[in-house]
Amino acid sequence: MNRNPHVAVVGATGAVGVEMVKALEKRGFPAGQLTLLASARSVGREFRFRGGKITVKELTGTSFKGIDIALFSAGGSISREFAPIAVQSGCVVIDNSSAFRMDDSVPLVIPEINASEAKLHKGIIANPNCTTAITLMALYPLHKAFDVKRVFASSYQAVSGTGARAIEELRRQVTQLVNGQTVTKEIYPHQIAFNVLPHVDSFLPDHYTKEEMKMQNEGRKIMHHPTFRASVTCVRVPVYRAHSVAVSAEFGKPVSPEAAREVLKKAPGLDVVDQPEKAEYPLPLYVAEKDNCQVGRIRRDCALDNGLCFWVCGDQLLKGAALNAVQIAEELLK
């Protein structure tokens, strides 16, 4: 791999793409050149990068000549179409969609957990689902110490997880309600302002959603834990940015809140914020735009043997997406 690789961001004008560009700059990623790619309607938009300006180009089959690393965040159908083309051009693809995550030949990587697997790629490396990534930042260190068997979890997912148009929908609806106007909706099946929707992604025949099953399926792959079980309810909440997850976890070994805190304090990419008597616990408002996830409300689960409850928050545009992708790219250069 070139020490100063030519990097492309595919889907550069989307909510995650914008954060990918920011993360590359903020972390001082040694990109020799940056190319921004998007659909035809975004061509000509300009981004600031390292004091200069970069103009967005149209994504085509010939876009990847000379590019070393491509960060994809343009949805599964674009990834399925263009990632193989990029690989044929000699490019390593780090893909943020769900297209390749469960493909046995594609590493699914959270660098704090399984960084070494990034090097085993055959051209494509997958970024995990945002809710799964944020949860595993706290769950995996506990699993290493206490052997997790199963979890019950509820997510509280920000509208930015759906994209830029969903952020605009929440803003618009709040304004409409405050001004006594009729609420209009385009993105979600119901009003999201001052409401919560127990519906993230599409429903499967068993009435879980695809999003809900990702924590079990992706968790098994990332943690190399084929018997891990996760029963999850994913909920969309009227928060602009950062996901939160309430987790009840059952372990094979005895676990105390004190022992769990000691493990979590040493976990990379994670801050323990857990002084409930001072009203200090992770909040999406305060974790937004932060690289690290936060964990708190750590307590014994009174309904499970060897059980622990905790609350974890993380910026799903960063650790759940853009930051994780850039960290994977950093691993490729090591």
Instruction: Tell me the per-residue pLDDT of 230-287, one tens digit each, with 9 for 90 and over.
Output: 999 999 999 999 999 999 999 999 999 999 999 999 999 999 999 999 999 999 999 9
Domain regions of the chain by residue span: 6-128+321-333, 132-316
- Distances in Å between the alpha carbon of 148 and those of 48, 116, 144, 223? 44, 22, 8, 10
Digit-coded pLDDT (tens) for 304-318 = 999 999 999 999 999
Are β-strands 52-55 and 46-49 bridged in parallel, bridged antiparallel, or unpaired?
Answer: antiparallel
Q: What is the DSSP letter of 246?
A: E
324 falls in which pLDDT band (50, 70, 90)?
A: very high
164 falls in which pLDDT band (50, 70, 90)?
A: confident
CATH level 2 (architecture), domain 6-128+321-333 = 3-Layer(aba) Sandwich (3.40)
243 among known catalytic residues: yes
225 among known catalytic residues: no
pLDDT reading at 1 higher than 90: no
* 132-316 and 6-128+321-333 share a CATH fold: no
Digit-coded pLDDT (tens) for 7-65 = 999 999 999 999 999 999 999 999 999 999 999 999 999 999 999 999 999 999 999 99
Name the fold adopted by 132-316: Dihydrodipicolinate Reductase; domain 2 (3.30.360)
Digit-coded pLDDT (tens) for 72-83 = 999 999 999 999
Return the pLDDT at 2. 87
Digit-coded pLDDT (tens) for 191-202 = 999 999 999 999
Rounded to the nearest angstrom, the gap between the alpha carbon of residue 169 and the centroid of all alpha carbons in its chain is 21
Q: What is the DSSP letter of 322?
A: I
Return the pLDDT at 23. 98
Average of per-residue pLDDT values in the chain:
97
Are β-strands 243-251 and 229-236 bridged in parallel, bridged antiparallel, or unpaired?
Answer: unpaired
Active-site entry in 6, 91, 121, 130: 130
Percent of the chain with pLDDT over 90: 99
pLDDT reading at 126 higher than 90: yes
DSSP symbols for 17-56: HHHHHHHHHHTT---SEEEEEE-GGGTT-EEEETTEEEE-
Return the pLDDT at 232. 98
- The pair phi, psi for residue 66, each rounded to 5°, is 85, 0
Active-site entry in 143, 234, 243, 309: 243
The SS3 of residue 308 is strand
For residue 251, give the nearest of 161, 141, 106, 119 by alpha carbon. 141
Report whether 35 contacts 24 (CB < 8 A).
no
pLDDT reading at 123 higher than 90: yes
Report whether 239 contacts 202 (CB < 8 A).
no
The mean per-residue pLDDT over the stretch 292-298 comes to 98
Return the pLDDT at 168. 96
